[in-house]
Amino acid sequence: MSEPAVHVDGLLKVFEVAERDEGLKAATKSLVRRKMREVRAVDGISFEIEPGEIVGFLGPNGAGKTTTLKMLSGLLYVSGGEARVLGHIPSKRERDFLRRISLVMGNRNQLQWDLPALDSFELNRSIYQIPRPDFLALRDELIELLEVGDLVRKPVRQLSLGERMKVEIVGSLLHRPDVLFLDEPTIGLDVTMQKRIREFVGEYRRRHGATVMLTSHYMADVEALCERVVVIHHGRILFDGDLAALADTVAAWKTIAVALENGAGDLSGYGEVIHRDGDLVTLRVPKAETARVTARLLAEQEVVDLNVEDPPIEDVIELVFARESVE
């Protein structure tokens, strides 16, 4: 059995932050006696990611997603526990390790601001010691995949946010990393650009077999790309498994959207009415009851249209956060 690409066991990250009340009196007092508070940004998480897997990290702001990625990419030292990526301890920041990973963070510039992206790509080739034929082949492939051919000759500062994000991604992948950490890569981008980047990540992984860890606020990112999702909140893992299994485990209901012929009467006898808009009613029913309720509606009501759906994944995730544990 091959070694996991990412192995995390009891990972802990604690920050010490200074805090004080507002005002001059409190500021003066803090000169003499500073009050420190311990923040457990990551609180003993454990998981493994096999080579070639693509895993989504979901969690609200401050959950510990980005801190986890930063520890796994070697930016932060761990406070406790163990982390290994491709067999390396990330915080040692060995050259062989850094050559095989990439961390792409939304809204971050790693390219030279004043120069065309092509010049920055050349700099990266030199830093990562990429053989020229390999570099040119992958560079051209990435430029074509992300459709940035007409952007790479312009100074990076003249590109829009979405254009800059695309060329940043090209720059981050030129050394063909085996592990790709994507921290909210679509943040701030329009819908078209988000879709483009998702398609690209999927295609890159398919072509090069990279292992991908992705954090995002956007469910569409996770649903489009991730077979497996890890839900993290307050530094702890609440769920780790299939996205579909998450819904099955946490949200044991389905929604039935039914459009009726001549106005809806009282449908509360069929299930919980969660939305009503004229003739259109949405019901929430226990999963086990779905078939029976659907049959009753069709038999007893004048149904124009009926849709049975799994609960929106956003609702499921919110439920996970609210419960803060998943059995």
Partner 1 sequence: MRTEMQAQFQYRAATYMYLLGMVAEPVIYLVVWSTIADQSGGAVGGLTAGQFAAYYIVWTLVRTMNIVFTPYGWEWRIREGQLSGQLLRPLHPIHYDVAQFAGGKIPWLVYYLPIAAILTVVFHPTFDVRPAEIVVFAVAIWGAYLIRTFNQSALGLVTFWTTRVGALFSLYIVLELLLSGRLLPLTLMPGWVQTLAWLLPFRWTFYFPIEALVGDLSNAELLAGLGMQLFWTLIGIGIFSLVWRHAIRRYTAVGN
- Which residues contact partner 1 (rule: CB under 8 A)? 15, 70, 73-77, 93, 95-96, 98-99, 101-103, 105, 107-110, 112, 114-115, 119-120, 122-123, 127-128
Smallest gap from Cβ 121 to partner 1, in A, equals 11
Nearer to partner 1, 168 or 240 (CB): 168
Nearer to partner 1, 70 or 196 (CB): 70
Q: Please identify which residue in the block is written with the tokens 């981050």.
A: 172
- How far is residue 77 CA from its own chain's centroid? 22
Q: Which one, of 327, 326, 316, 194, lies nearest residue 243 by Cα? A: 316
- Give the contacts of 189 (CB within 8 A, at least 6 positions apart): 106, 161, 162, 165, 197
Smallest gap from Cβ 192 to partner 1, in A, equals 25
Helices (H) and strands (E) in the chain, counts: 11, 13
- How far is residue 144 CA from its own chain's centroid? 25
Nearer to partner 1, 115 or 224 (CB): 115
Nearer to partner 1, 95 or 132 (CB): 95
CA atoms of 290 and 320, how far apart (whole Å): 22
Smallest gap from Cβ 199 to partner 1, in A, equals 25
CA atoms of 72 and 94, how far apart (whole Å): 13
CA atoms of 255 and 245, how far apart (whole Å): 17
Q: Do residues 189 and 159 make contact, with C-beta atoms less than 8 angstroms apart?
A: no
Smallest gap from Cβ 107 to partner 1, in A, equals 7
Q: Looking at the DSSP assignment, which residues form a beta bridge with residue 290?
A: none
Nearer to partner 1, 59 or 74 (CB): 74
Nearer to partner 1, 134 or 300 (CB): 134
Smallest gap from Cβ 24 to partner 1, in A, equals 19
Nearer to partner 1, 122 or 310 (CB): 122
Smallest gap from Cβ 60 to partner 1, in A, equals 18
Name the 3-class secondary structure at 322.
Answer: helix
The kind and range of the H/E element at 146 are: helix 132-146
Smallest gap from Cβ 189 to partner 1, in A, equals 16
